Amino acid sequence: MSFLISRFLSVNARRPRAAGPVRGMWRRVVAMLLAFAAITAAGIATSSAATAASANISPASEATVASAAAAAAAASAPASEVALVTTANGLVQMPNGRLLSPEFARIASRGEIVVAVLGVDQPPFFQRYEGELSGFDIDLANEIAQKLGVKVRFNRDAWTFDGVVNLLASGQADIAISKLSRTLPRAELISFSVPYVQLHRALLLNRLKFAELAHDRSVPEVIRTYDGTIGVVVNSSYADYVVSNFPHAKVVGYRSWDELVKALNAGDITAAYRDEFEVKHVLKQDPTASLRLRVVTLEDLNDTIAVGVNISSPALLAFVNQFLEERSRKLDVNTLLQATKN
């Protein structure tokens, strides 16, 4: 078609110049021929693409073609814009040739792992001391980063434990290490590692208020059918636990554990519900508190503390689980209480 148009133009170029109306007619004819040529070329290209798509090309051939295309693109692109190559089984090839799963590739490319930590200090798990974050959870985060060969950046934008979960679920962190209890509602949003601390759940009772409620009944008898007032920290795991553990209780929510303990001391509520470490720590901080308050440890109910991982990062979850299994440093309630002396 292009040859015919060229022939047509060369012949007409040798003819005598026509009058205005005739010359306009020839111009329209030439424009129509050029348009027709363009449409024909597009149709040929479409037909060729369809033929290639219907051809029986093996996955290996497709991978070869894709790799060649990626290599050609990389050769022509600036070094800062070269995209990482993904293999047929989903691994990412780093610039040094190392193969990584996508979640590790993101962390390695960034040079840091982002760890979500509650914005309110929870010693000895995490607290800011002399301008630096320290504590058992901070040590754990640093050890994981060291194994990965990257730095740590802590995201402390959340002010509730559920807020920490939301930071992770929304992709603003790679993992969460924040004295985070495993609960079923949270497991709908994120994945949890194996526990790195296991605590019993416990009640802290106002002695006077509890005696009024008991009416000479034994403590286990009252607890089994507890229908008094019980305080929990809002947006915490115990706000979930209390519903199933004490279905008849009158639940009162408080913004912080300090506010809850203050209300318990004042007699505004009869019981406070939290893990055995926090409950026993109240009596350890104030020896006179045992005159007003009493601890009841629920041996058959556990609070498992674990690392949160983004639900779309199974390889990272497996890595964290393996790391925790191999880690020699183990924590329990006595270790935590002992650490609060420092």
Residue 105 lies in a domain: no
184 & 247 share domain: yes
User: Looking at the predicted structure, is the pLDDT value of residue 100 above 70?
Assistant: yes
144 & 79 share domain: no
Mean pLDDT to the nearest integer, 217-228: 94
What pTM value is reported for the model? 0.73
Residue 106 lies in a domain: no
Q: Which of 4-18, 125-139, 180-194, 255-269 is predicted with the least confidence, judged by mean pLDDT?
A: 4-18
* pLDDT value at residue 32: 52
When divided into structural domains, the chain yields a total of: 3
Residue type (1 letter), 51: T
Q: What is the CATH number of the domain that holds 308?
A: 3.40.190.10
196 & 132 share domain: yes
78 & 183 share domain: no
Residue 302 lies in a domain: yes
Cis peptide before 78 (omega within 30 of 0): no
Residue 160 lies in a domain: yes
Domain boundary among 71, 100, 129: 100
On whether the CB atoms of residues 255 and 234 are closer than 8 A, the answer is yes
199/202 Cα distance (integer angstroms)? 9
Residue type (1 letter), 201: R
132 & 242 share domain: yes
Phi/psi region, residue 286 (left: phi>0; alpha: psi -120 to 50; beta: rest), is beta
User: Looking at the predicted structure, is the pLDDT value of residue 76 above 80?
Assistant: no
H or E segment to which residue 92 belongs: strand 92-93
User: Looking at the predicted structure, is the pLDDT value of residue 179 above 80?
Assistant: yes
Count of beta carbons in the 10 Å neighbourhood of residue 86 = 14
Parent domain of 43? 2-54
23 & 134 share domain: no
Angle between helices 314-326 and 102-110 (to 10 degrees): 80
* pLDDT value at residue 312: 93
Average predicted confidence (pLDDT) for the chain: 83
Q: What is the DSSP letter of 80?
A: G
Per-residue pLDDT of 267-326, as tens digits, reads 999 999 999 999 999 999 998 999 999 999 999 999 999 999 999 999 999 999 999 999
115 & 238 share domain: yes
6 & 146 share domain: no
* pLDDT value at residue 84: 74
Residue 168 lies in a domain: yes
| 184 or 25, higher pLDDT | 184
Half-sphere exposure (Cβ direction) of 108: Cα atoms closer than 13 Å: 19
DSSP letter string over 7-74?
HHHHHHHHSPPPPHHHHHHHHHHHHHHHHHHHHHHHHHHHHHHHHHHHS---HHHHHHHHHHHHHHHH
User: Looking at the predicted structure, is the pLDDT value of residue 39 above 70?
Assistant: no
CA dihedral 7→8→10→14, nearest 10 degrees, is 140
User: Looking at the predicted structure, is the pLDDT value of residue 187 above 50?
Assistant: yes
164 & 263 share domain: yes
68 & 50 share domain: no
* pLDDT value at residue 140: 98
Residue 200 lies in a domain: yes
Looking at the DSSP bridge assignments, the partners of residue 277 are none
User: Looking at the predicted structure, is the pLDDT value of residue 82 above 60?
Assistant: no
145 & 92 share domain: no
* pLDDT value at residue 63: 36
- Residue 64 confidence class, pLDDT cut points 50, 70, 90: very low
73 & 134 share domain: no
